[in-house]
Amino acid sequence: MTSFIQTINSNARNRQTFQSQKRAKGTSTWQLKQFADATLGGNSLRKCVQLPEGEDRNEWLAVNVVDFYNQINLLYGSITEFCSPTSCPEMKATDEFEYLWHDPPAFPKPTRLPAPTYISHLLTWTSAHLSNANLFPTAPGVPFPADFERNVRQIFKRLYRVYAHIYCHHYTVVRGLGLEPHLNTGFKHYVLFVEEFGLAEEGRGGKRSEWYGPLGELVESMLRSD
């Protein structure tokens, strides 16, 4: 079976992961990154998403949102040849869930786009947010902005749409490439992180089933299994 790394290299060699302007080795962010990488090798993903004792919540969110972006960027990059404007003329999960792109000033109104165009805009938008030092400060001692968690919540919400599209329209391709374990593990990690930090709650009365929509049953199964 073709390995995950081999597939990524052959199908997505031109895609770029986000290289954040990380704080220097030995600083809080660097140490949190090492912790996240180490705990992912354990048996319980629920344990690995938990905030390390004594660490800053915003630092932990910042480290992990970058990793989730890179994971989904590489995973989608491995199947881009199977996702075209012809095969996926709309950015959908199921027929009941179509995602429209809205990003003023270029897209002042929600706009229907082919899935690959939508996802390209989404990944570019996310990268721009992650590289904005006003939103994601990298210098030691610079505080996170007051709306930091709101921005993180929006990024996680939009990244979810890529998972939803892959599961609903490209799962057979993912299985054929031998990437099913990586997709499932990556999405479960994402779900557990979102649940741990309440990132799926959209104001008062927010419901998990409404937020996850087309993958609600899969999410519930993943939460029960960990």
What homologous superfamily does CATH list for 4-8+24-225?
Answer: MOB kinase activator (1.20.140.30)
Query: With the C-alpha atoms ordered 125, 16, 192, 179, is the resulting torsion angle positive or negative?
Result: positive
CA distances from residue 215 to 21, 187, 210 in whole angstroms, order as listed: 34, 11, 10
**Known binding-site positions:** 83, 88, 165, 170
Under 8 Å between Cβ of 204 and 152: no
Cis ω for the linkage preceding 105 (within 30 of 0) = yes
- The average pLDDT across 160-179 equals 94
CA 213 to chain centre: 16
Instruction: Give the pLDDT of residue 208.
Output: 60
How do the domains of the chain map onto residue ranges? 4-8+24-225
CA distance 125 to 69: 11
Strands (E), the chain: 101-103, 107-111
Residue that wins the pLDDT comparison between 121 and 38: 121
148 forms beta bridges with none
CA distance 74 to 16: 8
Look at residue 223 and tell me whether its pLDDT is greater than 90. Answer: no
Percent of the chain with pLDDT over 90: 59
Rounded average pLDDT over 83-88: 97
- Contact (Cβ atoms closer than 8 angstroms) between residue 95 and residue 165: no
Q: What is the pLDDT of residue 37?
A: 47
Q: Lowest mean pLDDT of 18-32, 73-87, 113-127, 140-154, name the range.
A: 18-32
According to the model, what pLDDT value does residue 211 have? 76
Q: Which residues are annotated as a binding site for Zn(2+)?
A: 83, 88, 165, 170
Supply the mean pLDDT for the chain.
82
User: pLDDT value at position 201?
Assistant: 63
Mean pLDDT of 129-157: 93
Selection from 38-42, 134-138, 222-226 with the highest mean pLDDT: 134-138
pLDDT of residue 154: 95
Specify the 3-state DSSP secondary structure of 108. Answer: strand
d(CA 178, CA 198): 32
> Which parts of 54-204 are beta strand (E)?
101-103, 107-111
> Are the CB atoms for 88 and 114 separated by under 8 Å?
yes
With beta carbons less than 8 A apart as the criterion, state whether 115 and 92 touch. Answer: yes
Q: Helix, strand, or coil here: 84?
A: coil
- The pTM score is 0.80
pLDDT confidence of residue 77: 92
Give the model confidence (pLDDT) of 5-34 as tens digits: 343 334 433 445 554 444 444 443 444 344
Question: What pLDDT is recorded for position 66?
Answer: 94
Kindly state the average pLDDT of the residues 74-86: 94
The pLDDT of 57-82, averaged and rounded, is 93
CA distance 23 to 1: 38
What does the alpha-carbon distance between residue 80 and residue 11 come to, in Å, rounded to a whole number?
Answer: 8
What is the pLDDT at residue 135?
94
Dump pLDDT digits (tens) for 29-69: 444 344 444 434 445 788 889 999 998 999 999 999 999 99
